[in-house]
Amino acid sequence: AMAAAEKQAGKMAKATAAKAAEAQKAIEKQGAKAGKAAAKHATEAQKVAGKQATRVVVASREAAKDAVERSRPIVTPVVDAAKPKVVPVIEAAKPKATAVVEAAKPKVAKGAERILEAAQASPNGHGRKKAEDFTSVRELRQALDDAISTGKQVPHDKPLVTRLI
């Protein structure tokens, strides 16, 4: 009787194990299906969001174009009305600007000449045409400041000066 009971219990255990394995497989299949469905829904949602973002960008561009087109009839007459008033002012300012540039040329030439002299004479101080060592930026800046502050005239027939002007 014991052997028969053990056989029956073994059969039941095998059947229960087989049912448990089948249930496990079914759960895994459903989990895989759910994972695939979730991934599919996520990609679809991403596509929809991308399309909506594109629509928003296109709509904002269209709105900007519409705003420009709507403002054109207002802005164009103002610009056209201002042109006759602005052109004479520009024409009147041209001679003054030219005079300022021409007046500045001797000062620029003088500064360039002083800088060249400083670069040639320093740092050895022997008045040679080329310095044996490099001239520092500080010395060149000081020479430029000195040239601007003093009002002495520099002849314009020197090669460096004629190249600058």
Mean pLDDT in runs of 10 for the chain (165 residues)?
Answer: 86 91 92 91 90 91 90 84 84 86 81 74 56 63 69 52 42
**What is the pLDDT, as a whole number, of residue 29?**
92
Sign of the C-alpha dihedral computed for residues 132, 134, 138 and 141 taken in this order: positive
**What is the pLDDT, as a whole number, of residue 88?**
85
**What is the pLDDT, as a whole number, of residue 74?**
85
Angle between helical axes of 2-121 and 137-149 (0-180°, round to 10): 50
CA atoms within 13 A on the CB side of 128: 9
CB count, 10 Å around CB of 146? 13
**What is the pLDDT, as a whole number, of residue 162?**
42
